[in-house]
Structure 1
């Protein structure tokens, strides 16, 4: 996980600076596995969110409050009894473990000064918040772990608290070069993997960064490094560890478009070609990163029903299309049966009674062919049979030619909606997509309900040269951009041969620079089904040459002469405007 020991060290540094000597003013438990502490310190009042969620364990300072249940859970009441108005005297991290210890001084019922420890363990599904006496006896925890649940450690009232050593990892902050070499360079596995599996608190992304800074391929086996590579790797590693000891951190998030893809407390230089934002504090990073992740996760959850509808309809249409193509292929024999009938009418007079075939010259190809015959029929009846077959297959061909086109259009339409669901960022985007599905009968419109008011708007970007670029989020917006917003001399972009957004580059009736074309092309690549490909082919053309076929579904257009470019889908340098 990206929330590794280095990020914890950064967080401990921040919490020490802001919370030391602060008093715990309020204690709330908004969720069954979450605490929200309000702390009054010399530098101000802070809220600290602590989550032991198995899927998203977190701890950071935040300005946002959360509603709490009317009746406080038992663990919350216990903490209020012991820690209310308690003073945080120390915030520590054991080694580079993903653990934070809060030492709190408070007065007991007799007025004596006591110490208690609130221990936060950020360990994936094993995350917990544990409350201990100063003799390391567990008073209680937000999650109870019995012997039936874990053979490694019980987390129950009255048990001794200790850090489980389930992985034989070394302490990175104190390792010297000789020990580093002994630990790492006998392993046959890839170098990055060897690093994060050998040392506590190092995440895969941090291991990749260490290898990158050392200019060593992270996939190279650790036991195949030269002496110079070993020395260089240790130097980079020890420099990073020294920065941690000196509390030198670089909280940052790496974005692909609007989506955060990674965060760290060291600068991620191996993502140098992607947008990176630095933040003043690791709490800002965690809140921003996980809020964005939560938004995307929530939208994907809310779009599940729509995705299911689209996927089911798409699978049905693809099966129907395959069957229609197979039937269409069978009609290719129709012209052969027509020739058989004509040749029987021409040469049938020479047939003997009971003949099984007729060998005749095909005057279309000037070759002899053999025509199978039904011995119970005359030549005229055989000719009629073949003409009937020809007529039936011709009718089938004509019907299937129309049907296959309709089915293919339906598949393209559903794939375009599927792509639009992938780029949806808000509930308003989903509302418009649901409207489209209702308009075309994929989702039933309940009762006599009217169409809802659509608030979703296209993406609006500004190119590096100041040109406005608009990107449709769905077929309705694509239609509006192309045929209402765009004028004749504006430029229209679309990924070639795959579902994607219409992208309009407003030309302002000027000679548009190449860089603006490239940025519009990147947007067309990113907002298409090919966004994860290294390169995407983009068609672009002046809008006046883009036409909508009669009766076509929204967003479907034709054009006959166009330019093309092949480009990547990195849009990190293009400014998004919030309209």
Structure 2
């Protein structure tokens, strides 16, 4: 989002929210604040986000789950702004910074002024709360005095970051334009981008179009400079121009769409912002939320694979176990031939029908030599049994870890992660669990209504265990993707007979976490048993039928 779009958005928000009273303030994410506002019998939700990948500010229609306990920053906003109204929304320092001014009443009924600064600068994005004198009361992201770029911490006066170049919307734009050596650049657009901040290449292209100037014009005279200055003035006040048509084009919110390319018109720039950024924000939130979980699962899987490889290597050393036993038997059967101090024994091997020379330890008696081989055999036998069991356990654990990986890959931005964290912590894949002031209530399984039948689908191993063994009855239908980690899905029959169409739809929902056509097994719940050793969601099943379907989430059937 460049200064052109942001300035238009600030103008729109100022017109829409001027005088709007604050009803509620929430902080659903560590870097996101939401203001619930009302003005002239209309309700608005203003979202301010300092997410490094998708910073944004606009009016939204979406909802998010709020934490059980509000963070300290949110509590501070509530303390000072709970009885307040929006006074002004504007751009600060001709940069990608929006300032929201509030007028509030104190406990003594005095009017006080506060401001929120929203810096929309990628990984440097921030939300800063100021008092009426411009001093910082708190911020979502704090820096120190040593920060060369921008110091943000409590008690200092807020100073916006310095611009590396002259701003296109500054009052001195025309005078700076006169000093640009356009001849030394391949095009006018390159010259403008190199000397001024605030506009993207697309915005400069629009500016040149408004000014009716060819981008590759070699000689730029005062006429072109005046036309450019006038065009920038038009763009600075784009909201009042006839060409202002908020839309989404190429996945971005635009003020003036290119008529030669497809676009989706919107009623407001906020709507265009929401349409273009909501999905990106969800993806960024999921990526941020699951990054450490995916890393933990990856390390767990690598650890298990390493253990299996080590055990199999040691198991290969047990291949000579039977040979040790045979050698001991041959020594015992020919013990009468051995004299103390002999280093070898020539004996007939009745297993291979060949003569064999056996090395002896001259310091041991004949019977001790035989016992040494039998002891090796016994040790290797015990080792083989132990390693075989350990490999089975590790392979079972690997299957379990794959189900956790599947659950993590299907998390959404609103899903709690505590149940998955607990599983990984129990497996020592996470060494420290995320600290919470209060445990979030686990979400119930996903519920669908299909032709009068209720279908439940788990989203993690604990939900799978609940769906299968605590909710479903023995005669209900249980579904699972064949030979792959997937959600447990059940159809609650309640004594009714299911038809083929409903069963097929249920199979499509069960396979909806996969991309391609998938085979789904289904059986009665009574044919599903827990695996041993017991781990949540780990089962085996018998007497099943299968159906190959195309994955389909059937969102229209989901119970919200």
TM-score of the aligned structures, taking structure 2 as reference length? 0.55
Secondary structure in structure 1 of the residue aligned to 2:480: strand
Task: Spell out the pairing of 1:366-381 with structure 2 (5 A cutoff).
Answer: 366=352, 368=354, 370=356, 372-374=358-360, 376=362, 380-381=367-368
Structure 1 CA distance for aligned equivalents of residues 389 and 283 of structure 2 = 40
- Distance in 2 (CA, whole Å) between partners of 1:264 and 1:477 is 39
The 3 A distance-change label for structure 1 pair 53 and 459 is closer
- Aligned 1:296-445 pairs, distance under 5 A: 297-298=284-285, 301=288, 315-346=302-333, 354=342, 356=344, 358=346, 360-363=348-351, 366=352, 368=354, 370=356, 372-374=358-360, 376=362, 380-425=367-412, 429-436=416-423
Q: CA deviation at 1:408?
A: 3.3
Deviations 1:271-308 (A, max 9, x none): xxxxxx99876634644775565566556656667666
Equivalent residue, structure 2, for 1:196: none
TM-superposed CA distance for 1:548, in Å, is 1.7
Answer with 474-483 or 453-462: which moved more. 453-462
- Equivalences for residues 56-455 of structure 1 within 5 A: 56-62=54-60, 146=162, 150=164, 153=166, 160=173, 164-165=192-193, 247=245, 283-284=270-271, 286-287=273-274, 290=277, 294=281, 297-298=284-285, 301=288, 315-346=302-333, 354=342, 356=344, 358=346, 360-363=348-351, 366=352, 368=354, 370=356, 372-374=358-360, 376=362, 380-425=367-412, 429-436=416-423, 454-455=441-442
On the 8 A contact 2:523/2:543 being kept in 1, the answer is: yes
Match among 550, 557, 560 for residue 575 of structure 1: 557
The 3 A distance-change label for structure 1 pair 566 and 337 is farther
Q: What is the aligned counterpart of 1:557 among 533, 539, 549?
A: 539
- Work out the CA distance in 2 between the residues paired with 1:541 and 1:367: 56
Q: 1:37 to 1:404 in 2, by over 3 A?
A: closer
CA distance in 2, matches of 1:51, 1:453: 22
Change (3 A) 1:455 1:322: same
**Partner SS state of residue 577, structure 1:** coil
Q: Structure 1 residues 23 and 546, CA, compared in 2 at 3 Å: closer, same or farther? A: closer
- Secondary structure at 2:456's aligned position in 1? strand
- Cα displacement string for residues 88-116 of structure 1 (whole angstroms, at most 9, x for unaligned residues): 9xx9xxxxxx9999xxxxxxxxxxxxxxx
Q: Indicate the SS of the match to 1:547.
A: strand
RMSD: 6.2
Contact 2:318–2:381 under 8 Å retained in 1: yes
Q: Partner of 1:494 in structure 2?
A: 480
In the alignment, the residues of structure 2 paired with residue 471 and residue 57 of structure 1 have an alpha-carbon distance, to the nearest angstrom, of 34
Cα distance, 1:263 vs structure 2 = 7.7
- TM-superposition CA deviations, 1:408-428 (whole Å, max 9, x none): 333433443343344344777
Moved more, 567-576 or 163-172: 163-172
Does structure 1 residue 474 correspond to structure 2 residue 460? yes
Deviations 1:367-416 (A, max 9, x none): 64746413525664443322111100111122223333333333433443
Cα distance in 2 between the residues matched to 1:168 and 1:84: 30
Residues 517, 572 of structure 1: CA spacing in aligned structure 2 closer, same or farther, 3 A cutoff?
closer
Unaligned 5+ segments in structure 2 are 64-73, 99-117, 128-157, 178-191, 210-215, 217-241, 257-263
Task: Quote how far apart the aligned CAs of 1:348 are.
Answer: 6.0
Match of 1:510 in 2: 497
Other structure's SS at 2:417 match: helix
| CA–CA distance in structure 1, aligned partners of residues 528 and 413 of structure 2 | 30
Q: Distance in 2 between matches of 1:48 and 1:452?
A: 28
Partner in structure 1 of residue 151 of structure 2? none
Question: Given the superposition, is the C-alpha separation of residues 346 and 513 from structure 1 closer, same or farther in structure 2, using an over 3 Å criterion?
Answer: same
Cα distance in 2 for partners of 1:156, 1:245 equals 19
Q: Is the 1:493–1:521 Cα contact (8 Å) retained in structure 2? A: no
- Give structure 1 stretches of 5+ with no counterpart: 73-79, 92-97, 102-119, 130-141, 177-182, 184-243, 253-261, 267-276
Contact residue 246 and residue 268 of structure 2 kept, 8 A: no
Partner of 1:540: 522
TM-score w.r.t. the length of structure 1 is: 0.53
Distance 1:278 1:460 in 2: 35
Give the equivalent residue in structure 1 for 2:53: 55
Do the aligned partners of 2:416 and 2:440 also contact (CA within 8 Å) in 1? Answer: no
Can you list the C-alpha shifts for 1:170-214, whole angstroms capped at 9, x where unaligned? 7887999xxxxxx9xxxxxxxxxxxxxxxxxxxxxxxxxxxxxxx
Displacement of 1:341: 2.4
